[in-house]
């Protein structure tokens, strides 16, 4: 599929130095639509949706943000910490909204998996099915998200 003018603009926004120092693509050489479509195939195979993942990330983000004591334990299974930074970010897809800077780290105490994400990650997953490019600092692998966030109760 050929990139549209809008796709090219978004792809430029995702590069290092445009909207963030390290960008959102990493060393992924694929076109934006290829990155997104590849993750959609993985989500289908995992029987998950981008909304399900974004909702779960938001749940932990909200709980950790409300905690003023550093890390908190949720459901006796997840250790979550929210580190807040000054400033805000906008969506590189030119979608309306402003997202606070922060880094949320979650450790699944049962399997030892640890993941980190930002508030902007949640938006990009929910609205654009974009988990970032391979090699990106904040790339979230759908398989690891499933293992870490969704328990087998």
CA distance 130 to 119: 13
Q: What is the dihedral of CA 127, 136, 29, 142, to 10 degrees?
A: -50
CA distance 39 to 102: 24
DSSP H/E element including 73: strand 72-74
DSSP H/E element including 103: strand 98-108
Number of domains in the chain: 1
Is residue 78 a part of any domain in this protein? yes
pLDDT digits 0-9 by tens, 80-127: 999 888 889 899 998 888 998 899 999 999 999 999 999 999 999 999
β-pairing, 98-108 vs 114-117, is antiparallel
CA distance 94 to 104: 24
| Domain housing 85 | 33-149
Is residue 145 a part of any domain in this protein? yes
pLDDT digits 0-9 by tens, 12-23: 889 888 888 888
């Amino acid at each position: 599929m050929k990139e549209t003018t809008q796709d090219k603009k978004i792809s430029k926004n995702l590069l290092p130095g445009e909207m963030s120092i390290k960008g959102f693509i990493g060393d992924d050489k694929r076109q934006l639509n290829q990155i997104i479509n590849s993750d959609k195939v993985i989500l289908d195979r995992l029987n998950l949706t981008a909304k399900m993942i974004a909702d779960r990330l938001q749940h932990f983000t909200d709980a950790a943000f409300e905690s003023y004591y550093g890390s908190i334990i949720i459901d006796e299974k997840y250790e979550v910490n929210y580190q807040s930074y000054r400033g805000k970010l906008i969506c590189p897809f030119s979608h309306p909204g402003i997202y606070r800077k922060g880094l949320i780290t979650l450790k699944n105490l049962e399997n030892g998996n640890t993941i980190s994400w930002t508030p902007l990650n949640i938006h990009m997953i929910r609205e654009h099915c974009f988990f970032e490019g391979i090699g990106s600092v904040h790339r979230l692998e759908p398989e690891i998200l499933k293992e870490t966030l969704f328990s087998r109760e």
